[in-house]
């Protein structure tokens, strides 16, 4: 593992960018996913159709394909973003589909009487969803959202295809430079574990705290 220790600065830089990618795209995914979930349970048919179309189309398209189309095809239509911002948008859009389905399952798990009681008090659908249903739904989906977050840490590695110098990009470059692929990628695998395992612990802590508040 000498090659890893000798190039620890490259690993740390890759980890830093991976963390930034993951946090930025997950924040975007939470917003997109929550809005999409709301659309999918909306009483307005066009909103439900639009939400379903987005989820089914993006979720069933390989992430690598989305990266390539977004970064290399969109500029031909006059739409172009820097590498890092492109990675945030692509990962956010893709992960947003999984967040949407997770949040929607939480919404469906809330007792129907809650929404009926809110409507009887004169609350509109947005008010019912935002004040009564969503707060309860989000508490029930903390563990699956944690799984989505951990999957996003690993999915961020595909940002290397557009030149984002995250952890896998640095490991790939180092493997070619040193011709010692096995220890280099083993070091990258350990780094991903060091990112994923604490994330799981944090999710478990949040789940316990939320359970106490119920």
CB 89 within 8 A of CB 81: yes
Task: List, for residues 130-153, the tens digit of each pLDDT value.
Answer: 777 888 888 889 999 999 999 999
The domain limits of the chain are 2-213
| Backbone CA torsion sign across 165, 199, 27, 55 | positive
Global pTM value: 0.91
Q: How close are the terminal C-alpha atoms of the chain, in Å?
A: 48
Give me the phi and psi of 165, to 5 degrees please.
-85, 60
d(CA 57, CA 205): 34
Ranking 77-91, 105-119, 131-145 by mean pLDDT, the lowest is 105-119
Helices in the chain by DSSP H: which ranges? 2-6, 8-40, 45-59, 63-68, 83-109, 112-120, 125-127, 134-140, 142-155, 167-178, 181-213
- What confidence score (pLDDT) does residue 211 get? 65
Instruction: Confirm or reject CATH 1.10.3720.10 for domain 2-213, answering yes or no.
Output: yes
Burial of 50 (0-12, 13-18, 19+ CB in 10 A): middle
pLDDT at 35: 95
pLDDT at 14 over 90: yes
Does residue 213 have a pLDDT over 70?
no
Checking if the pLDDT of 2 tops 90, the result is no
């Amino acid at each position: 593992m000498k090659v890893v220790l000798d190039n620890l600065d490259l690993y740390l830089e890759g980890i830093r960018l991976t963390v930034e990618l993951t946090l930025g795209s997950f924040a975007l995914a939470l917003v997109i996913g929550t809005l999409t979930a709301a659309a999918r349970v909306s009483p307005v048919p066009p909103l439900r159709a639009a939400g379903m179309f987005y989820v089914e189309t993006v979720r069933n398209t390989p992430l690598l394909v989305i990266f390539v189309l977004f970064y290399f095809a969109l500029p031909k239509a006059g739409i172009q973003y820097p590498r890092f911002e492109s990675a945030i948008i692509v990962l956010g859009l893709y992960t947003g589909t999984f967040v949407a389905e997770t949040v929607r399952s939480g919404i469906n798990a809330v007792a129907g009487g809650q929404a009926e009681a809110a409507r009887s008090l004169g609350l509109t659908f947005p008010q019912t969803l935002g004040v009564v249903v969503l707060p309860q739904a989000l508490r029930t989906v903390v563990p699956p959202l944690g799984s989505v977050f951990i999957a996003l840490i690993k999915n961020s590695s595909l940002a290397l295809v557009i030149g984002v110098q995250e952890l896998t990009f640095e490991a790939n470059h180092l493997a070619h430079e040193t011709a010692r692929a096995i220890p280099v990628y083993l070091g990258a695998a350990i780094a991903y574990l060091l990112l994923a395992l604490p994330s799981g612990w944090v999710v478990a802590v949040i789940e316990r705290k939320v359970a106490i508040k119920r």
